[in-house]
A and B are shown apart, each in its own frame.
Chain A
Amino acid sequence: DTAVSQTPKYLVTQMGNDKSIKCEQNLGHDTMYWYKQDSKKFLKIMFSYNNKELIINETVPNRFSPKSPDKAHLNLHINSLELGDSAVYFCASSLGPRGYIQYFGAGTRLSVL
């Protein structure tokens, strides 16, 4: 069983579309994260939820909206996609918000045409 699973693995879409990426973890962790990795492979935190509560909200456009229906799921919805949104998006989870190793999903490669 995959510990942190993201879907889809690849997403190719047109500018202006709205898309969602889903993430689920079966580790019983309380904390989940979304990261963006740009073309230079630089990872940056976008959001983090702890027990369904938003605890990290970095400076990202309002077009990005995370949703955590329960502790095991953290979805990322992106409105009005732009070319600059093309990147690999990683979901991760950890036992708690501080002092714990993070477990990463396999990533979702988003290409906006």
Chain B
Amino acid sequence: KNEVEQSPQNLTAQEGEFITINCSYSVGISALHWLQQHPGGGIVSLFMLSSGKKKHGRLIATINIQEKHSSLHITASHPRDSAVYICAVRETSGSRLTFGEGTQLTVNP
């Protein structure tokens, strides 16, 4: 079992839908990262958070430290949001990131 579990593995939505991707982890963490991997392969950091909620444009990331759970929300989804979204955690004890397996999101027009 991975220390970082994401759900769903695959998600297909219609343009305009509200999307939620979930991340659960089993270790103590100092920070959680959300990353986006484009179809072309490039990886972009979206958020780094250790508590509460962050918003950037149509993207919102929340974290509940007690429940060891984070969600990434996309409002008014668009086909250009189609990508793999990856959750990663930095354990309290170390400096390395541990990654989830990613969620493949496809937004159809």
Contact = CB atoms under 8 A, between A and B. Distances in A.
A90 B43 contact: yes
Contacts of A45: 96-98
B96 A88 contact: no
Interface string A85-113: 00010101000011111111011010000
Interface residues of A, number: 24
Interface string B24-46: 00000011010101000111110
B interface: dominant SS: strand
Contacts of A104: 35, 42-45
Interface of B: 30-31, 33, 35, 37, 41-45, 48, 84, 86, 88, 90, 94-99, 101-102
Interface of A: 40-45, 48, 55-56, 58, 88, 90, 92, 97-104, 106-107, 109
